[in-house]
């Protein structure tokens, strides 16, 4: 399938193929390649940074090996739960990962839970690990969002802004003059990489950078999700906005509480 993504106001038009190439007649999708690229770059970054924490490379590799499949399964479960009408009449379709349907929040939640359990079991400083993962997550998310560009999805509502986007699939317009929300989130995550990189130099407790990630990503996702045209819903509420609000609230509380505790301890 060929998608034509254009920005008429900017005079830009790009043709992209959802299938990058085939292996034994089976298509390898560009979306998957971009997700894998994001994971690989995030892993390389985290591997370099984890050395500074004193945590062994073997332990970190173990976390990655168990965390990655947990993230994929979690992303799928999250999507299926909030899109149940699509699967209730064909349960086996739940296992058709190639058909699409992954939600980043589900992936992050399951991967984080898996890593936390591993750290607790091995008595590893989980705060230090999560501080490294905070920036790594944003790297992966910033790159992975471009998979939505290739697929012609995750776009927003109509807009008259100069950078309004139009998407055609095989000559049929599926979205016209809409917000390029995939681009908004990719740019916001890229800026977050810079912000958290500087923020970690000012942290006063282990895990603070990850709390910063919760606040930064939650805030951006809340705002951008409000523009999305394909949000997962609970009744009339956007699921990702609810979760984003909870993340921001929890992140702020944890930062304030632990900073206050740290400063009180220093006084004594």
Share of the chain above pLDDT 90, in %: 74
pLDDT band for 7, please (50, 70, 90 cuts): very high
Residue 235 has pLDDT above 90, yes or no: no
CA 94/CA 46 separation, integer angstroms: 32
Per-residue tokens: 52 = 């500074």
Confidence of residue 131 (pLDDT cuts 50, 70, 90): very high
Q: Where are the alpha helices (DSSP H) in 100-180?
A: 104-122, 126-144, 146-151
Cβ neighbours of residue 220 closer than 8 Å, sequence gap 6 or more? 185, 188, 189, 192
pTM for the predicted model, two decimal places: 0.92
In this structure, of 59-68, 95-104, 115-124, the range with the lowest mean pLDDT score is: 95-104
Cite the DSSP H helix spans in the chain: 30-50, 57-81, 104-122, 126-144, 146-151, 181-199, 208-225, 239-267
């Amino acid at each position: 399938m060929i998608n034509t993504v254009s920005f008429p106001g900017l005079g830009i038009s790009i043709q992209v193929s959802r299938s990058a190439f085939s292996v034994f007649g089976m298509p390898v999708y560009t979306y998957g390649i971009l997700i894998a690229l994001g994971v690989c770059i995030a892993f390389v970054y985290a591997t370099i940074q984890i050395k500074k924490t004193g945590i062994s490379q073997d332990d970190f590799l173990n976390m990655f090996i168990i965390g990655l499949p947990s993230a994929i399964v979690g992303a799928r479960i999250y999507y299926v739960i909030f899109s149940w009408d699509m699967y209730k009449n064909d349960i086996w379709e739940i296992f058709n990962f190639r058909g699409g349907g992954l939600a980043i929040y589900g992936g992050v939640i399951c991967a984080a839970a898996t890593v936390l359990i591993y750290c607790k079991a091995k008595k590893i400083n989980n705060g230090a690990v999560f501080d490294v993962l905070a920036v790594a997550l944003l790297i992966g998310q910033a790159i992975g969002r471009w998979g939505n560009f290739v697929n012609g999805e995750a776009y927003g509502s109509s807009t008259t802004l100069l950078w309004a986007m139009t998407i055609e699939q095989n000559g049929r317009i599926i979205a016209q003059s809409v917000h390029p929300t995939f681009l908004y989130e990719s740019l916001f995550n890229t800026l977050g990489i810079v912000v958290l990189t500087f923020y970690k130099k000012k942290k006063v407790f282990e895990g603070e950078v990850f709390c910063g990630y919760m606040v930064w990503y939650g805030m951006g996702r809340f705002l951008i999700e409000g523009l999305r045209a394909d949000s997962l819903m609970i009744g009339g509420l956007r699921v990702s906005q609810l979760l984003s609000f909870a993340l921001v609230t929890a992140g702020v509380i944890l930062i304030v509480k632990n900073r206050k505790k740290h400063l009180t301890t220093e006084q004594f």
